[in-house]
Amino acid sequence: MEKDTSVTPGPRQIQLVPPPLHRNLILRAPENKAAGLPAVKEALRHLQMEMGMVQGLKTISLMNQHGGFDCSGCAWPDPEGHRSSLGEYCENGAKALAEEATEKRVDGAFFAKHSVQELSNWQDYELGKAGRLTHPMVLLEGSLHYQPITWQTAFEMIGAEMQKLGNPHEAVFYTSGRTSNEAAFMYQLMVRAWGTNNLPDCSNMCHESSGTALIDTLGIGKGSVTLEDIHQAELVLVMGQNPGTNHPRMLSALKKCKDNGGKIISINPLEEAGLKRFVDPQSPVEVFKGGTAIADIHLPVRINGDVALLKGIMKALWELEKSSPGTVFDKSFIRDKTEGFDRLREHLEETSMEACVHDSGIKATEIAMVARLIAKKKRLIVCWAMGLTQHTNAVGNIQEIVNLLLLRGAIGKPGSGTCPVRGHSNVQGDRTMGIYEKPKESFLAALDARFGINSPREHGYDTVEAIQAMQAGKVKVFMAMGGNFASATPDSWATRQALQNCELTVQISTKLNRSHVITGKKALILPCIARSEEDIQSSGVQFVTVENSMGIVHSSQGNMKPASKKLLSEPAIVAGIAKTILPNLPLDWDAMAKDYNVVRDHIEAVIPGFEDYNERVRKPDGFYLPNCAREGKFNTPSGKAQFTVNPIPDHHLEAGQYVLMTIRTHDQYNTTIYGLDDRYRGILQERRVVMMNPEDMAEAGLKAKDKVDLISHFKGQERHAPSWIVVPYKIPRRSLAAYFPEANVLVPLDSVAEKSNTPVSKYVVVTLRPSSN
């Protein structure tokens, strides 16, 4: 049995998961619209609170602008050509800037005052609000306090610890999606020169399932659409996604689609405010009229009912096709561009519509209505996010989306295609740069030829495998460039114990987070400059590059003074580490660190699609990377797109069991918590809540604001999380929702998606019991 209140024995007595802290929960009716003036007000409030209004407005005016810096939040693309002079950012983009440009500082005096033992009792929100890290810091074995350390001493400490390792695979190098292309390329080069492919990243926990499914079926792990395609689409399905909170600028694109006559279907267990109505805060007319209705249809699918729903829609389409041959399925596209259609058709014939209805929770009449709408629209896009990618059958979820699009011939054509909506602003670029534990031979061969190294061919650890290796004592050094590994990962109690098994943990970070408190026997904090800050090296002012979720590579250049003179850039930090751990390797790391043009020249030589990199990326809008699916070509072994057959998942629950999914609040981006309100859902001043269907509450004898303990069940194991407040909410029966990272303790480490090994954070079987707290 694993409890989220456990304390690790030993000299530090670190609290692995902070004890529950309840505030004054306020419940209001959920909002029926997103953005508008309230979003502007919140954005300004956060800027004022963290950095002052004058500096805040001056800095944010350059966010996502030509010649400015890329938002460190989501990876939604910027408009090509004209950018709004009023601002190309959203409420959560403003919050992200305020967090990294805060005037609060976490320095030597802070750590002298607060021990890691004390900090381990702080909530994630409190840690994040402490401020910017200013100096490299070391936590020595047995010590309770971080102490300042010089950069050179820190690098030498890493080198000494690495030289003790029995083999290169005893070190793991994690990466967050916020890292620039230049830093990511240098990082993976260092790791492969060191001798391992242990390069887990945040993709392993989010869109790995998307990449796996898309590579197998279409030959490329990226989406195929552009921003203009969304504007031109006749129908957009938004599945398992809450753009109003997680990708707010996407609402502007959906509004343009609506303005052009397009239709939107929302498919999600929760009906979110952003997909009800969007109020463009830059348009006085929109503000006056109360915005634009976004979703024409909302289907409240049960948790993980998406395969059943998509299969029901395709079965209904097949019936329409049989009644009017050649009018529903794109037969020429299917014949010339695909394989496996006959097998899928036979499967649809055998599939029971009753099973699709039962397992999706959507009525047959609604399925038929959606099918008729799809049959009438030639330009079809499907967007999706974590609601589909974090299930045991997540790869099958995405493959069913591909099946639907292929039936309609809706890939490789204007206004049509696949649209996985990525999270962090350069998570896709990190993978392009080689941050991957299973690299292709062609990439490694090019890397070796460019640098004269012998890259390892053995696959490395992904995120889940890295945790398991740390548990087993196979990993002695853990290094993270960005992110908050201790909070972002599943099975919090087990993961944090695993980190403590390491001899040394190293965090390259901008702000304090849980991963600075849950450490190895020794720990280093290496603070770096942020996306919005100036990066001046010996060759002059530098810019970095990033790739957005639609495959555009563009520049980003900060303008603020760094939070401390002791900060280094990520490329400089990587160079400092590399020179220390690889002293005999004749690579000019200093040349890369002082002039990022040198790094980009290396990238151009190694990675296809980056021809004339330094020239093209200086164009205002950057450039598109090659995308075979966008061109109607498929880099599969046969050169054709693949239809697949995927079974409907089994949703059997025992009496008293529910399915829990973890979600974000509106005051949150990934594990960064900006505030304590989930404004759009009407849940204020509290995070430790569990949303529950009112009928299920009545059946269980519960009322609003009752406290319950949550117990997850997986293969005979139980994981306990005490003291959650019950909130009545419009959610399908026997479904629950709770916020991460608090609920991550309930996600079993061994519960992973088939093929992609992504943690199953959206389907956790739980029971409830009255709380004693």
pLDDT band of residue 4 (cuts 50, 70, 90) is very low
CA angle 183, 187, 188 (to 5 degrees): 125
User: 2-29+654-770 has which CATH code?
Assistant: 2.40.40.20
pLDDT, tens digit, 9 for 90 and up, residues 541-576: 999 999 999 999 999 999 999 999 999 999 999 999
Who contacts 338 (Cβ-Cβ below 8 Å, separation ≥6)?
Answer: 406, 640, 641, 642, 643
Instruction: Please report the pLDDT score of residue 6 as a whole number.
Output: 36
Question: Is residue 178 scored above 90 in pLDDT?
Answer: no
> What residue spans define the domains of the chain?
2-29+654-770, 104-202+426-541+569-610, 209-420
Alpha-carbon distance 79 to 753, whole Å? 34
Instruction: Please report the pLDDT score of residue 772 as a whole number.
Output: 83
Instruction: Please report the pLDDT score of residue 8 as a whole number.
Output: 39
Question: Using CB atoms within 10 A of its CB, is residue 287 exposed (0-12), middle (13-18) or buried (19+)?
Answer: middle
For residue 186, the SS3 value is helix
489 with 205: CB under 8 angstroms? yes
Amino acid identity for residue 141 in this structure: E
The answer to whether the 104-202+426-541+569-610 and 209-420 domains have the same CATH topology is no
Instruction: Please report the pLDDT score of residue 773 as a whole number.
Output: 74
Who contacts 600 (Cβ-Cβ below 8 Å, separation ≥6)?
Answer: 181, 182, 545, 610, 613, 614, 617
CA 335 to chain centre: 36
**Portion of the chain with pLDDT greater than 70, in percent:** 99
What is the dihedral sign for C-alpha 694, 700, 704, 709?
Answer: negative
**Portion of the chain with pLDDT greater than 90, in percent:** 93
Who contacts 618 (Cβ-Cβ below 8 Å, separation ≥6)?
Answer: 555
pLDDT, tens digit, 9 for 90 and up, residues 307-355: 999 999 999 999 999 999 999 999 999 999 999 999 999 999 999 999 9
Instruction: Please report the pLDDT score of residue 703 as a whole number.
Output: 98
Rg (CA), the chain: 25
pTM, full prediction? 0.96
**DSSP label at residue 88:** S
Question: Is residue 633 scored above 90 in pLDDT?
Answer: yes
CATH class for the domain made up of 104-202+426-541+569-610: alpha beta
pLDDT, tens digit, 9 for 90 and up, residues 668-723: 998 999 999 999 999 999 999 999 999 999 999 999 999 999 999 999 999 999 99
Contacts 24+ apart (CB under 8 A), 627-631: 627/220, 627/222, 627/224, 627/551, 628/218, 628/219, 628/220, 629/214, 629/218, 629/219, 629/220, 629/222, 629/224, 629/411, 629/412, 629/417, 629/418, 630/224, 630/225, 630/226, 630/412, 630/417, 630/551, 631/412
Strand duo 735-739 + 380-384: pairing:
unpaired
CA 466 to chain centre: 18
pLDDT band of residue 5 (cuts 50, 70, 90) is very low
Question: Is residue 272 scored above 70 in pLDDT?
Answer: yes
What is the DSSP annotation of 729-742?
Answer: ----TTEEEEETTG
Stretch (H or E) spanning 395: helix 394-407
Closest CA to 107 of 582, 535, 511, 584: 511
Question: Is residue 655 scored above 90 in pLDDT?
Answer: yes
Closest CA to 629 of 74, 309, 80, 229: 229
For residue 394, the SS3 value is helix
| Mean pLDDT across the chain | 96
Instruction: Please report the pLDDT score of residue 587 as a whole number.
Output: 96
Closest CA to 72 of 41, 98, 46: 98
Question: Is residue 7 scored above 50 in pLDDT?
Answer: no
Instruction: Please report the pLDDT score of residue 73 as a whole number.
Output: 86
pLDDT, tens digit, 9 for 90 and up, residues 408-465: 999 999 999 999 998 778 999 999 999 999 999 999 999 999 999 999 999 999 999 9
Tokens of 316: 């209904």
pLDDT, tens digit, 9 for 90 and up, residues 60-89: 999 999 999 999 888 899 988 889 888 889
Lowest mean pLDDT of 171-175, 651-655, 736-740, name the range.
651-655
Alpha-carbon distance 470 to 497, whole Å? 9
Question: Using CB atoms within 10 A of its CB, is residue 597 exposed (0-12), middle (13-18) or buried (19+)?
Answer: middle
Alpha-carbon distance 521 to 240, whole Å? 40
Alpha-carbon distance 321 to 302, whole Å? 28
Instruction: Please report the pLDDT score of residue 12 as a whole number.
Output: 75
pLDDT, tens digit, 9 for 90 and up, residues 573-605: 999 999 999 999 999 999 999 999 999 999 999
The fold of the 209-420 domain, in CATH, is: Dimethylsulfoxide Reductase; domain 2 (3.40.228)
Alpha-carbon distance 550 to 429, whole Å? 10
Alpha-carbon distance 703 to 642, whole Å? 49
Instruction: Please report the pLDDT score of residue 11 as a whole number.
Output: 54
Instruction: Please report the pLDDT score of residue 467 as a whole number.
Output: 98
Q: How many CB atoms lie within 10 A of CB 267?
A: 28
Instruction: Please report the pLDDT score of residue 262 as a whole number.
Output: 98
Mean predicted confidence (pLDDT) in 281-297: 95
Mean predicted confidence (pLDDT) in 144-156: 98
pLDDT, tens digit, 9 for 90 and up, residues 376-412: 999 999 999 999 999 999 999 999 999 999 999 999 9
Q: Measuring CA to CA, how many Å separate 567 from each of 172, 512, 527, 570? A: 24, 14, 6, 9
CA angle 319, 323, 327 (to 5 degrees): 90
